[in-house]
Amino acid sequence: MILGKNRYCAIIGPTASGKTKLAIKIAKEIDAEIIGLDSRQIYKGMPIGTAQPSKQEMDGVVHHLIGFLEPWFAISAGEYSRMVFQKIEEIKKKGKIPLLCGGAGLYYRTLVNGLFEESSSNIEIREKIEEGYRKNPQLLFDRLQTIDPEYSKIVHLNNKQRLVRALEIYEITGKCPSEHFKQQKKEIIKKISLFTVYLDWERRSLNQRIVERTKNMIENGWLDETQELIKKQNSRIKSFPALNSIGYKQITSFLNKELNINELEELIIINTRQFAKRQVQWFKKEKIDLIVKMEGLRINKLSEIIHGILKS
Average pLDDT, the chain: 88
Residue-wise pLDDT tens digits, 105-135? 988 988 988 765 555 566 667 778 888 888 8
Q: Is the domain of 200 the same as that of 272?
A: yes
Instruction: Give the domain range for residue 97.
Output: 7-115+190-311
- pLDDT above 90: residue 192: no
Mean pLDDT of 28-51: 94
Please report, rounded to a whole number, the percentage of residues in the chain having pLDDT higher than 90. Answer: 54
Whole-number Å distance between alpha carbons of 11 and 256: 38
Instruction: Please give the pLDDT value at position 121.
Output: 63
Supply the pTM of this predicted model.
0.79
Instruction: Please give the pLDDT value at position 187.
Output: 41
Residue 63 lies in a domain: yes
Q: Is the domain of 224 the same as that of 265?
A: yes
Whole-number Å distance between alpha carbons of 285 and 66: 26
Q: Is the domain of 125 the same as that of 195?
A: no
- pLDDT above 50: residue 224: yes
- Choose one of 157, 188, 219: the last residue of a domain: 188
User: What CATH number is given to the structural domain containing 181?
Assistant: 1.10.20.140
**Count of domains observed in the chain:** 2
Helices (H), the chain: 19-30, 55-58, 77-93, 105-113, 123-135, 137-147, 149-152, 160-173, 177-182, 203-219, 222-236, 248-255, 261-283, 299-311
Residue 1 lies in a domain: no
Q: Is the domain of 171 the same as that of 286?
A: no
Residue-wise pLDDT tens digits, 249-270? 899 999 999 999 999 999 999 9
Q: Is the domain of 197 the same as that of 67?
A: yes
Q: Is the domain of 122 the same as that of 217?
A: no
The neighbouring-strand residues paired with 99 are 9, 34
Return the higher-pLDDT residue of 58 and 307: 58
Residue 2 lies in a domain: no
Q: Is the domain of 236 the same as that of 89?
A: yes
